Structure 1
Amino acid sequence: MPHSKPSSREASLDITLASKPRTPLAWYRASFPYAEALAVGALVLFVPAVLNDPDSWWHVAAGTWMLAHLSVPPVDPFSFSMAGQPWVAHEWLAEVLMALAWRAGGWSGVVALFGAAAALMTGCLARYLARHLRPLAATVVLLIGVSCVGPSLLARPHLLALALLVPWLTSLLSAQERREPPPWSLLLLMVVWANLHASFIFGLALIVPIALDAVVDALRSADQKSAHAWRVARGWALFLAAALVAALITPHGIEGFRFPFQLAGMKHVVSIGEWRPLDLHKLHQIEIGLVALAYVVVTRRVRIALPRGLIVAGLAWLAFAHGRHEMLAGIVGAAVLAEPLGRAFGSTPQDPARLSWRAAACWIVCAVLLLTLRFANPVVRGDSPTSPVSALAHVPASLLDEPVFNSYEFGGYLIFQHVRPFIDGRADMYGDAFMFAYLDAMRSDRAAFERLVQQYRIRWALLDARSGIAGMIATLPDWRRLYADGTAQVYVRTLP
C-alpha cells in the first residue's frame, strides 16, 4: 500500500519535534555550547580589564591608517625614532577589523568585536567537548581550558586568532577520528588566519602530530593496513602542502613565515611581561589543569596517544617558558584530551542534540540584549596605566610635534592621538640594540638617557608616574617638570 505524502504542516511539525531534545540530558548537551559562549562573551563585554593593554590603542590607529590609505604599510608610519624603517604589519586584517568596530561603536564596538570572538572560541570548544564527554566532565574541562585564557583576555589580535584556532583544531581532530583527511574548506580559514595573526604558524604545526596519529590509527584498525595507511598519509600530506600555500596568501608572503621565529629569537623579549616565564610563586590556571590531568591519568588510567601527548607536553613547556602561551596550552590541551578522557570515563562520541527554533531564538535574544546594554552604556576611557589623557592634554600643541621620550606603555596612546612616540608596543620592529638602549635609560642610567636625548634630539618626556626615571630626570639641570598626576609626569628640556 503506497504511503500518503504528509502535508507541509505535518512535515514542519515533525522537523520541530525531531530537533527538540527529548531528555534533560539531551537538552543540556544542546544548550551547553550556547550557554558557555554567552557567558564568556558577556564577560568580555562588561569587564573593564579587557581594555587594559596599551597595544589596543595603536592597533586601532593602524587599522584606521590602512582604511584611509587602502594599503598595508611596508614601513613604519607612526614613530619618529623608526620612521621609514621596514615594518611587517602581520596583524593587518585584525587591525582593520578593530578600526571598523571602533568606527561603528567606539570602544564599545571594539569590545563587542572581541566579545563575539571569545564567544565563538568558547562555543566551538564546548560543542566539541560535548561530543566526547559527559556533561559534568565537559563543563570541568571547558572551565579549566578557558580559564587559561583569562590573563590574555585582552582586546588584541591574538583573541581574534583564538576564534579561528578552535574550529581549525577541532576540524583536524574530527577528521583524524573519522580516519580521513581534513576538509579542504579549512584552507579558507588558514588564509584568513595568516592575515590576522602570526599564530597561524602554530596551526600549521598542529597538522603534523594529528596526521601522525591518523596514520597510526589507520595501521591499527584497517584490514588492508598498509594500503589504507598510505591513503590516509597521502591525504594529510596533500592537505599540509595546500595549507602551506594558503598561508602564503598575505601581503608579506614568505616574510610572514619568518616573522614569528625572528620575534621569538630576539633577546629583549624577556623584558616584556607576556614573554617572561610564569612566576611560580603564584598559582596559575595551567598548574590547576596539569594537576587535575595527572590525577585523572593515574586514577582512570587514561591512555593518550603519543602524538597527542607530545602536543600537551610541548604546550605545557611553552606556557612555563613564556606566559603568553598559557592560553594555547589551555584551549588546545582541552580539545586534544577530550577523546582520550571520554574513553576513560566511558563516554561514546555523539553529535550534540539540535536546538529547537524557539531555544535558538531565545539565545539570540539574550545576545542582542547584552549588546544593547553594552552600547546603551558606552565605554569611556580616561586616565589609566595605558592612557595618560590628562597629562597629554597639558602638553602645549607646539611641543607635540617635537621628539618625545615616552614610557613603553604610553606609546600606543600617543599613536592613537597622532603624536609620534619614541617607542611603542611593536618591539619586533625596534630590534634588540634599540630596546636594550631604551631599557638602560629606563633603569635611571643617566648616561644612557642623555645619549638617547642627544642622538634623537629629545625635547620632552611623557613617563609613567611610578617609573624611577621620572625621579632621575627631575634632578637634571636642563629639565623641568611641566605636569604630574597619579598616572603620568611630563618633563620639558629647557636647553636646545
Structure 2
Amino acid sequence: MTILTAETTNSAGTRHSLLPLWVGLVVYAVLMSVGDRLLNDPDTLWQITLGQWIIDHRAVPHSDVYSFTMAGQPWISTQWLAQVLLAVSYTVGGWAGPVVVAAGSLGLTLALFARALGRRLRDSTTLVFVIAAVILMAPHMVARPHVMAMPVMVAWVAGLMNAADRRAAPSLWLLPLIALWANLHGGFVLGIALVAPIGLDAALGAPARRWSLLLRWAGFGVLALIVSFANPYGWEAILASRRILDLGAALATIGEWAPTDFSRFGPLELVLLAGLGLALWRGVTLPPMRILMLLGLLHMALSANRNLEVLALLAPLIVAAPLARQIGGVETADGAPAQPAFSVVATALSLAIAGTLAFATLHSFAPPREQTPAEAVAKLKTLGVQRVFNDYDFGGYLIASGVSPFIDGRTELYGERFVVEQNAAVRLRPPEKLFRLLDDYNIDATLLRTEDGATRLLDHVDGWEKVYSDDVATIHVRKPGAAHTAEPKVDPAR
C-alpha cells in the first residue's frame, strides 16, 4: 500500500553528528589532492576571463564581446557572481585559487547533504547516499559556476523538504538562498519549479489544513519567483535558462548535455540497480508526489549527463523521511548527540586551511595541455590572422589568450544550427560542410586538434598550408598558391 504521507517521529527535533564535518573535510582533501582534474574543462578558462571583465568594467555583459562570429549579439551571463569569484580566486592564488573554490564548494555541498539526511537517517545509511552521490557527481566535479551553486541548491531543497515533512509552510528565511542561487547559476529555475510539487506533497499529507497550506506554499512560490529577480538581468535570467533547453540537437554534440549511454556499464546504472534492489528487498514505498518528483529527476538525468548531480543530491532528500519510516531512521531528538563543539569545527577548519597552504606551495596546479594549446596559440598570434576556425574545446583558451574564437562553450549564444554545423564540419559530415564554413566566414586560419578529420583533410588540400603542428593542435593558414603537404594514402587492396 502506498504511503500517503511522509511524516516521521524524527521531525520533532534536530540531530547532529560529526559525520557531516568529516564528509566535508574528506571530500575537500581528496579533491585538493587531485586538483588538476578540477581544471579539466575548457569552459573554466573563459569563465575566469569573463569574471575579470566584469570586475574591470564594473558591469555585466549584455552582448558578446569575445567571438568574431557573434560579436555584438545579445548575450547575458546568469553565472556572473560565480565568474567573479573564480576570477578573484585566480588573481589571488593562480590556478590554486579556482581549485580551492571548487573543492571547498563540493566539500560544503556534501557536508550539507549529509547533515540534511542525518536528520532522518542513520549515519550508515547517510554515508551510503553520500558515496552514491560522489560516484554520480564525479564526472562533473570541475571548477565551474555550477559547483558554487550546489551548496545553495542542497540547502534550499533541504529546507523545502523539512517544511513538507512537518506539514508546514517553508520559512521566509529560505528566500535569500534563491536570490543567491539566481546570481550564481541559471539552475535556480529548478529550485523555483520544485516549490509546487513539494508544496502539494505537504498539503496532501495534512487533510485538515490542505487548502490553507496550499495557499501558504503558493504565496511562498510567488515570493521566491519575485526574489529571484534580484539579479542584474531580472526576469531575463529565467528566459536565458529556457534558451539553453531549446538548443535541441546541439546539446547532443556536447558531452555533458548528451543523454546517458547504457551501452557500457556506468555510474548511473550502478546506482539505479542498487536502488531498485533495495526497493524490492525492503518493499520501499513513497507518497505519490514524491514518486513523481523522483521520476522527474530521473528523466532529467537520463536526458543529460550534467543532471546526474541533480539526481544524486536531490533524490535522497526527497525520499529520506519515508525511507526512514520504513527501514529505520535516527532516534528522536531526546538524547541525540549534541552539535559538534565550536572548538572541534574551528580546529578542523584550521587544519584544512593549513593543509591547503602547505599543499599549494608544493604542487603547481594547471589545466591539462589538451585544453590549453599554448604553443599553437603563441604561433597563431605571430601570423596576424583575424578569423580563426577553431575546435570547440579550444574556444575557452583562445578567449583567455585574447584571440577571438569562431566558437566556444557559450552554446546558447551560438544557437543550435551554428553548433551542429561546426561539429559536423570538424568531423567531415560531409566534408563539403567544412569548406563551406571556411568560405562563408572568410576564415584565415584553422586551429584544430591534430587528430581531427578536418585537420588531416586540410593536409591534402591546395590553398591551405600547415604552419604548425604538435600532438595537441595543428594550424593551417589560407594561402592561395600553397600545394598540399602530403599525398593521400592509397590502399592497393581497395
Superposition TM-score, scaled by structure 2 size: 0.89
Aligned to 2:223: 242
Alpha-carbon offset, residue 382 of structure 1: 6.3
The amino acid that maps onto 1:372 is: L
Alpha-carbon offset, residue 358 of structure 1: 3.5
Aligned to 1:115: 103
CA contact (8 A) 1:130 1:352 kept: no
Alpha-carbon offset, residue 260 of structure 1: 2.0
Aligned to 1:411: 395
With over 3 angstroms needed to count, the CA separation of the structure-2 counterparts of 1:357 and 1:245, relative to structure 1, is closer
Give secondary structure in 1 for the equivalent of 2:476. strand
With over 3 angstroms needed to count, the CA separation of the structure-2 counterparts of 1:491 and 1:161, relative to structure 1, is same
Determine if the alignment matches structure 1 residue 340 to structure 2 residue 331: no
Give secondary structure in 1 for the equivalent of 2:222. helix
Determine if the alignment matches structure 1 residue 393 to structure 2 residue 378: yes
Give the alignment of 1:43-62 within 5 angstroms: 43-47=30-34, 48-62=36-50
When the two chains are superposed, the root-mean-square deviation of aligned CA atoms in Å is: 1.8
Distance 1:352 1:312 in 2: 31
Distance 2:282 2:418 in 1: 53
Determine if the alignment matches structure 1 residue 376 to structure 2 residue 361: yes
Aligned to 2:7: none
Aligned to 1:252: 233
The amino acid that maps onto 1:59 is: Q
Distance 1:97 1:406 in 2: 28
Determine if the alignment matches structure 1 residue 354 to structure 2 residue 354: no
Aligned to 2:277: 295
CA contact (8 A) 1:94 1:157 kept: yes
What is the count of residue pairs matched by the alignment? 461
Aligned to 2:54: 66
CA contact (8 A) 1:148 1:331 kept: no
Alpha-carbon offset, residue 396 of structure 1: 4.3
CA contact (8 A) 1:165 1:203 kept: yes
Distance 1:141 1:383 in 2: 31
Distance 2:152 2:220 in 1: 18
Alpha-carbon offset, residue 99 of structure 1: 0.7
Alpha-carbon offset, residue 118 of structure 1: 0.5
Distance 1:126 1:238 in 2: 30
Determine if the alignment matches structure 1 residue 34 to structure 2 residue 18: no
CA contact (8 A) 1:131 1:349 kept: no
Cα deviations by residue, 1:87-142 (Å, 9 ceiling, x for unpaired): 12121111111111111111100111111111110110101111111121111122
Cα deviations by residue, 1:471-496 (Å, 9 ceiling, x for unpaired): 01111111111111111111121139
Give secondary structure in 1 for the equivalent of 2:17. helix
Alpha-carbon offset, residue 179 of structure 1: 2.1
Superposition TM-score, scaled by structure 1 size: 0.89
Give the alignment of 1:266-277 within 5 angstroms: 266-267=247-248, 268-277=250-259
CA contact (8 A) 1:406 1:462 kept: yes
With over 3 angstroms needed to count, the CA separation of the structure-2 counterparts of 1:175 and 1:246, relative to structure 1, is same
Give the alignment of 1:142-153 within 5 angstroms: 142-153=130-141
Q: 1:491 aligns with which of 453, 476, 488?
A: 476
**After TM superposition, which residue ranges in structure 1, 4 or more long, deviate above 6 angstroms?**
none
Determine if the alignment matches structure 1 residue 202 to structure 2 residue 193: no
With over 3 angstroms needed to count, the CA separation of the structure-2 counterparts of 1:440 and 1:360, relative to structure 1, is closer
Cα deviations by residue, 1:211-248 (Å, 9 ceiling, x for unpaired): 011101111xxxxx1xx223322221111000011112
Q: 2:438 aligns with which of 453, 467, 475?
A: 453
CA contact (8 A) 2:262 2:269 kept: no
Cα deviations by residue, 1:292-322 (Å, 9 ceiling, x for unpaired): 2222222222231111111111111211121
Alpha-carbon offset, residue 281 of structure 1: 2.0
Determine if the alignment matches structure 1 residue 126 to structure 2 residue 108: no
Alpha-carbon offset, residue 378 of structure 1: 4.8
Distance 1:198 1:319 in 2: 17
Alpha-carbon offset, residue 398 of structure 1: 4.5
Distance 2:398 2:351 in 1: 37
Distance 2:16 2:274 in 1: 23
Distance 1:352 1:389 in 2: 54
Determine if the alignment matches structure 1 residue 311 to structure 2 residue 299: no
Aligned to 2:210: 229
Structure 2: 5+ residue stretches without partners: 1-14, 482-494
Distance 1:349 1:53 in 2: 45
Cα deviations by residue, 1:375-423 (Å, 9 ceiling, x for unpaired): 2135343662211112222334342x51111100000000001111111
Percent identical residues: 32
Q: 1:166 aligns with which of 154, 158, 178?
A: 154
With over 3 angstroms needed to count, the CA separation of the structure-2 counterparts of 1:217 and 1:53, relative to structure 1, is same
Cα deviations by residue, 1:137-161 (Å, 9 ceiling, x for unpaired): 1111221123211111111111111
Give secondary structure in 1 for the equivalent of 2:216. helix
The amino acid that maps onto 1:164 is: V
Alpha-carbon offset, residue 257 of structure 1: 1.4
Determine if the alignment matches structure 1 residue 212 to structure 2 residue 193: no
